[in-house]
Amino acid sequence: MDSNDALVVFEGAKIRRTWHDEQWYFSVVDVVQVLTDSPKPRQYWGKIKDREFQQLELSPIWVQLKLPSADGKSYKTDCANTESMFRIIQSIPSPKAEPFKRWLAKVGYERVQEIEDPELAQKRMKEIYKLKGYSDEWIEKRARGIAIRNELTDEWDKRGAKSKQDYSILTSDISRATFGLTPTEYKRLKGLKNENLRDHMDDIELILTMLGEATTTRFTRARDSRKFPDFRKDAKDGGDVAGATRKDIEGKLGKSVVSGDNYLKAPERTKRIENKKKPIEKR
């Protein structure tokens, strides 16, 4: 998944998690609530931190990451990975601890399986998207787009563009040349905040994104680019190819394919069905 925020469920309770440093990090407060049934899990966790900081020096094993809250906004929240969560659970006296440990172990084992067999990760990813209301047609394009994106970032990585800032600049270059908008501007157009932009693109938007990134990869390899300014030229040229295709489509279609639509209220599958029922516009 693209560093997605997600919910997982343990015995009917929702636990927030986020992808960070190539692994899942779970909300400590959510886990505390599940294990203790405390009406004030934040205060409960605060007392544990105060106590264990002196005795076990637990504080270095959690980090603060942004997670979505009930009000729809994201706030910094204490999070821990699977290994650290096991250590935190040891400090919580609860009969629910053992099944929760088994559940966490299962999550960790699934991640190991996915590393050994990437097809399992893709299968789980498709299942998640289907549960969110996406159609099989859209999911296949999204999955292909992820593969193309990974191929491009791998190429950048082995050629020296390693920082997140480098990736962000290069991605913006491709997007601006393809759509006339940076990803930040595109998210604003679609009314998105913390949501993943590509999860709110329609088929044509996804295809154009893939074309821009796949062409950029081809240019980078063919030119044997090794320096960041060269990567930026590849990104712009790759985006220009996709941008020219977009303009050609728009010229024949008679309207822009850069859409402000999103799937925040109506799932993609529902919108796809509605669009199929619309009468064909006569020109």
CATH architecture of the region 5-116: Roll (3.10)
pTM of the model: 0.62
Contacts with 75 (C-beta within 8 Å, 6 or more apart), sequence order: 66, 67, 69
pLDDT at 225: 96
CA-based radius of gyration for the chain: 22
Q: Which residues contact 79 (CB under 8 A, 6 or more apart)?
A: 17, 18, 20, 25, 26, 27, 28, 62, 63, 64, 65, 67
Runs of H (alpha helix) within 198-267 = 203-223, 228-253
As annotated, the residues of the chain forming the CATH 3.10.260 domain(s) are 5-116
- DSSP bridge partners of 26: 17, 80
Residue-level pLDDT at 181: 97
Distance linking the first and last C-alpha atoms of the chain: 41
Query: How far, in Å, CA of 162 to CA of 158, rounded?
Result: 8
Q: CA 17, 198, 125: angle at the middle one, nearest 5?
A: 50
Exposure class string for 162-185: b at 16+ Cβ within 10 A, else e = eeeebbebbbbbbbbbbbebbbee
Q: What is the pLDDT of residue 144?
A: 93
Q: Could you list the pLDDT tens digit for every one of the 283 residues in the chain? A: 333 445 555 656 788 988 777 778 889 999 888 888 888 989 988 888 877 655 555 556 888 888 888 777 888 899 988 878 877 887 777 777 777 777 666 666 565 555 555 566 667 778 878 888 999 999 999 999 999 999 999 999 999 987 888 999 999 999 999 999 999 999 999 999 878 999 999 999 999 999 999 999 999 999 999 999 999 999 999 999 999 999 999 999 999 999 999 998 888 988 888 777 665 554 4
pLDDT value of residue 230: 96
- From CA 233, how far away is CA 61, in angstroms rounded? 41
Name the DSSP class of 10: E
Neighbour-count burial of 238, counting CB atoms closer than 10 A to its CB (0-12 exposed, 13-18 middle, 19+ buried): buried
